[in-house]
Amino acid sequence: MATEDAIRSRIADLIGRRKNVTFEEIKWVYDQLSSKYPCKTRKTTHGTLFRIGHVRFMVNSHNPGSKQVKTYSVDEFARAMTELGWYD
């Protein structure tokens, strides 16, 4: 389990480099926050829907060969983290 500072630092790092983020990095943040909030994931046709507390966001995976997620998925992640108070 990572500290709050480590989680906040990782979130800021991911949002800072929107074009080079992998699904596993977002999943790591989700796993860390799952001990603090009720969390749930659901696989969909085009990706994974994450719910952390009352906030939902989607990470799309249109290109299964690439490990990087689309920038709009990182933007959704940033919106969710801002709404939860983990990113300013």
The pLDDT of residue 64: 66
| Helix 23-33 and helix 71-84, axial crossing angle in degrees, nearest 10 | 20
How many domains in the chain? 1
Share of the chain above pLDDT 90, in %: 78
SS3 47: strand
CATH code, 43:
3.30.160
Q: How far apart are CA 30 and CA 5, in angstroms?
A: 15
Q: Which domain holds residue 71?
A: 4-84
* Residue tagged 């500290």 (tokens): 3
For the segment 48-73, the average pLDDT, to the nearest whole number, is 88
Region 46-58: mean pLDDT is: 95
The pLDDT of residue 65 is above 90: no
Cα 85 to Cα 24, 43, 54, 61, 64, distances in angstroms: 22, 25, 12, 26, 31
Residue 44 has pLDDT above 70, yes or no: yes
